[in-house]
């Protein structure tokens, strides 16, 4: 029963990632795509947590922290690129 509920939760997360991929393909502006990619990262974190509960292990929790940090840095860099045109500015 518990395993079945975990599989249902994983399927819901996969459908959510599919919806985000639709927005990445179709999104009219670049900001839409960046937002959808950030959302994909968050959903992958949730999927790893559910999967490690499903496998009764604690070996994947470094990955949760790592993907969280990488997703935030990627979104911040893309936002700065969209706003200013450069990611790292030069000193004048």
**Shortest separation between residue 92's beta carbon and another protein, angstroms:** 19
**Shortest separation between residue 51's beta carbon and another protein, angstroms:** 10
Question: How far is 21 from 37, CA to CA, in rounded Å?
Answer: 8
DSSP string, 18-75: HHHHHHHHH-SSHHHHHHHHHHHHHHHHHHHHHHHHHTT--TTHHHHHHHHHHHHHHH
Give contact residues for another protein (rule: CB under 8 A).
Answer: 2, 5-6, 8-10, 12-13, 15-20, 22-23, 29-32, 34-36, 38-39, 42-43, 45-46, 49-50, 52-53, 56, 58, 61-62, 64-65, 68-69, 71-72, 75-76, 78-80, 82-83
């Amino acid at each position: 029963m518990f395993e079945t509920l975990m599989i249902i939760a994983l399927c819901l997360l996969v459908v959510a990632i599919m919806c985000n991929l639709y927005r990445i393909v179709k999104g009219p502006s670049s900001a839409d795509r960046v937002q959808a990619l950030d959302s994909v990262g968050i959903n992958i974190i949730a999927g790893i947590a559910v999967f490690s509960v499903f496998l009764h292990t604690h070996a994947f929790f470094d990955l949760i922290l790592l993907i969280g940090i990488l997703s935030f840095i990627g979104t911040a860099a893309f936002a700065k690129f969209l706003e200013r045109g450069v990611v790292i500015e030069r000193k004048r």
